[in-house]
Amino acid sequence: MFSSLTGLRALYCHLYCICGLRDSILVHTKDAILVLHKEKSQDVKKIYNTLERHQSKLID
């Protein structure tokens, strides 16, 4: 979790730019990037349940 995300980063050979993002969570895997406000962290469970319901390969 980051209190402030700004700048250019390279992670797992992916390049991404984040500007002015505060109090946020960034989750990066080889298949997806999830960025959300830390107050919405409980929504990750909803996202996971939706992916599971649709049998997404992202949760294999």
* pLDDT tens string 8-26: 555 556 677 778 888 888 8
6: left (phi over 0), alpha (psi -120 to 50) or beta: beta
> Which residues on adjacent β-strands are paired with residue 11?
14
Helix (H, G, I), strand (E, B) or coil at 29: coil
The arithmetic mean of pLDDT across residues 37-56, rounded, is 91
Q: What is the share, in percent, of the chain residues with pLDDT greater than 70?
A: 75
State residue 4's pLDDT score. Answer: 52
pLDDT at 50: 92
Residue from 27, 21, 25, 23 nearest 6 by CA: 21
What's the confidence (pLDDT) of residue 30? 77
pTM: 0.60
Amino acid at 12: Y
